[in-house]
Amino acid sequence: MPTWSSDQYLKFNRERTQPAIDLAARIDLAAPAQIADLGCGPGNSTTVLAQRWPGAKLLGVDNSKAMLASAQRDFPDPTWVEADIASWAPTRTFEVVFSNATLQWVPDHATLLPRLFALVATGGAFAMQVPNNLHHSGHRLMRELAVSPEWCRFFPQPTREWHVESPAFYYDCFAALASRVELWETDYIHVLNGPDGIVEWYRGTGLRPWLEALPDEATQSRFIEDYTRLIAEAYPRQADGRVLFPFRRLFVIAYR
C-alpha cells in the first residue's frame, strides 16, 4: 500500500471533495445514526457526511497514520480509527457505510464488497465512489514510461495499480443482496493552471506506487520530469494557458 501525504492530497481539496458531496447527496436516508467513512483520509469526506447528517455519530477509518493525524487535528469530533479496510471487522453495524475514492486500492472486490455490505444495518445504505479512468492518458502514460528502455530496469515487477471493475460487475455484486442498487458515472472536467497541475494531482494518488518503487529522490525527480513532458503533450493548453483535465468516477449505492 503506498504511503500518503495529506498536504499533497489536499492541494486539490475542492476537486477531490466534490464527488463525496455528490455521493452523499444521493443517499436516500433522512437521519442515519451511525456512519462509517472507509478510507477517510484527512477527513474531508467525513466532514461532508457531518454536514449532510449533523446528528449522526461518525467513524473515520484509514490505514495511514499521517492522514489520520491530519483528520484528528482539523476535525476532532468524529472518532478516527487506524485499520486496513481489507481486514477491518467492527462489532456493530452502521446505517451508512461510505467510501470515497478509496476502494480502488483494495483488491478482490467480489469478496470485499459483500463483507462490507454486511456491516450495513437493515434500512441502511452502502455508498462508494471510485475513480474509473485507469485507461485515460494520465495513467496510460505512467505505464508507458515505466516500460520504456530508460525506466524498465526500475520496474521488474508490475507496479500495483487500481482495482476497479465495470458497472455491471458492481450491479451483480449487490443485486442479490440489496433491496435497491443505483449506479452512475460522472466525468468531472477540472480546470488546472497547466500540465504541472496534472502531475501534482497524480503525485498525491496514482503516481505514488510508481515513485515508491524508485530508489531515491533524484531518480524520482527524473521520472517526474519525463512524465511531465508526456503530460504536456497529451493535455494541450487552452487559449488562456490552462488545461482541461477530464476525470471519470463511478458511483454505487446499495440499500439493505
State residue 204's pLDDT score. 78
Helical pair 195-203 and 217-234, crossing angle rounded to 10 deg: 130
State residue 162's pLDDT score. 76
State residue 174's pLDDT score. 98
State residue 7's pLDDT score. 47
d(C-alpha 50, C-alpha 46), whole Å: 6
State residue 3's pLDDT score. 53
State residue 5's pLDDT score. 45
Grid coordinates of 189: 472536467
Grid coordinates of 149: 528502455
Three-class secondary structure of residue 136 per DSSP:
coil
65-104, pLDDT tens digit by residue?
A: 988 998 999 888 899 999 999 999 999 999 999 999 999 9
Whether pTM exceeds 0.85 = yes
How many residues can be counted in the chain? 256
d(C-alpha 184, C-alpha 101), whole Å: 15
State residue 134's pLDDT score. 82
Under-70 pLDDT residues of the chain: 1-12, 160-161
- The domains located in the chain, with CATH, are 6-255 (3.40.50.150)
Phi and psi, residue 54, nearest 5°: -65, -20
State residue 205's pLDDT score. 81
DSSP 12: G
Helix (H) or strand (E) holding 60: strand 57-62
Other Cβ atoms closer than 10 A to 5: 16
d(C-alpha 205, C-alpha 101), whole Å: 10
The residues, ordered by sequence, that sit 6+ positions from 252 with a Cβ below 8 Å of its Cβ are 126, 127, 128, 129, 167, 170, 174, 181, 182, 183
